[in-house]
Amino acid sequence: MSAFRSLSLAMLKGLLRDRTASFFTLVFPLMFLLLFGALFQNDSVSRSHVLQFGEVAVLDEMPADQRRDLSEALNVEQVRDRDEALARVSDGDADAVVWQDEDGRIELRYSAADATRAGTVQGLMQSLVQSANLAETGQPPAFELASDQVEDKSIKPIQYLAPGLLGWAIAMGASFMSAFTLVNWRKKRILRRLWLAPISPGTVIGARIGVSLGMAFLQTALFLGVATIPFYGLRLTGFWWLAIPLVACGTLAFMSVGLVIGAWAKTDEAANAALQLVIMPMAFLSGSFFPLDSSPDWVRAISNAMPLKHLNEAVQGVLTRGEGWGAALPAMGGLLLFAAVLTAVAARLFRWDDT
């Protein structure tokens, strides 16, 4: 057996036999997907519950096919009492009330308690009204465009949950594995021992990267496998396979995070604490668990500095939004650059021994 294969095998066995490590890198993120996917399944952000009082032309006079499209995003309920309807909205029971004035103006009342929901309802009604206005002018293509927008709004949670949680899983797996390998191999003097074996550093580094990439691809396969079952209902778009090189670049980027922490930390515990402090906030700020569309500007500014945010966005783009190389290449370049910079930092911090 070659040195490369044998080292890879040793690392792989070490990882798989470490139950805690394999649970946290493989099973734990998948559990989040299973759980979140099920929790949010019928609670699509865009399927809003709107109460309609009286006649509202744009809703009532909608063609049947458009109504069907709309029903994916909007659930309209007819009510007889406007005050009661308003009370239900302020209770959070419904998302908005809509009615039409005598002079034709459409009135929408929503609660600011759920900003995301309020935004969605407003956007939907806005686009409906504009579609109707455009229809009045007799320009069919513009009407078609508006109808597409309605469809686009009905993103299922799985469409951002699967890429977001996958990104988080990749970030955790790659960074924890490389940090722990570095700390343990230094502590157990395996680094020294390998220095004294007639193999090139490239073999050791290559084996380490190979194992991490293998694990990341396995995770990607598990995630996509789970997300695309009908129960979760993720539909992959044309360039979904671009997720593979994206995941590879993400793995390298987060391995470099692990290398910096592993080079700095003296013990497993210190490395673990530092990784948690870095990875968890980064995952939240990168929209791994929930979308950041409605978050304040300063949060989004921080978010833009996170490599995971760009990985998540690009993976979501190619997996579910039909985006292609245009979305993948800038993210891949950025992740590789990030990896190069952090690896250089890790090389500066690197020590052979703890002493």
Partner 1 sequence: MGPLNVSNAAGRPEPGATRGPTEALDAARPAPPRGPAPPRFGHGYHRQVTKNIPAIAVEGLRKRYGEVRAVDGVTFEVAHGEFYGILGPNGAGKTTTLELVEGLREPDEGSARLLGQPSWPRDPGLLRRIGVQLQASAFFEKLTAREQIHTFAALYGVSSRRADEMLETVGLTEKAGTRDDKLSGGQAQRLSIACALVHDPELVFLDEPTTGLDPQARRNLWDLLREINAQGRTVVLTTHYLDEAEILCDRVAIMDAGRILRVGAPSELIAELGVGNLEDVFLQLTGREYRE
Q: Which residue lies nearer to partner 1 by CB, 4 or 289?
A: 4
Closest CA to 209 of 17, 339, 16: 339
Q: Which is nearer to partner 1, 198 or 230 (CB)?
A: 198
Minimum distance of partner 1 from residue 209's CB (angstroms):
17
Considering the complex, state which of residue 13 and residue 235 has its C-beta at the smaller distance from partner 1.
13
Least distance (Å) between residue 291 CB and partner 1: 39
Min separation Cβ 198 and partner 1, Å = 4
Q: Which two tokens stand for residue 196?
A: 């004294």
Nearer to partner 1, 10 or 349 (CB): 10
Residue 195 sits at φ, ψ, to 5 deg, of: -60, -35
Quote the least distance from Cβ 274 to partner 1, whole Å.
20
CB of 202 to partner 1, least distance (A): 12
Cβ(317)–Cβ(242) below 8 Å: no
Contact (CB, 8 A) for 204 and 194: yes
Q: Nearest distance from residue 272's CB to partner 1, in Å?
A: 15
The smaller minimum CB distance to partner 1, of residues 30 and 199, is found at 199
Residue 329's CB is within 10 A of a number of other CB atoms, namely: 14
Residues contacting residue 200 through CB under 8 Å, at least 6 positions apart: none
The residue among 17 and 348 lying less far from partner 1, judged by its C-beta, is 17
Contact positions toward partner 1, by CB under 8 A? 1-3, 5-7, 9-11, 13-14, 17-18, 184, 188-190, 192-200, 352
- Cα gap 18→118, rounded to integer Å: 47
Shortest distance (Å) from residue 196 CB to partner 1: 5
Beta carbon nearer to partner 1, 21 or 224: 21
The CB-of-229 to partner 1 minimum distance in angstroms stands at 33
Q: Which is nearer to partner 1, 69 or 268 (CB)?
A: 268
Nearer to partner 1 (CB atom), residue 78 or residue 267: 267
CB 191 to partner 1: min, Å: 8
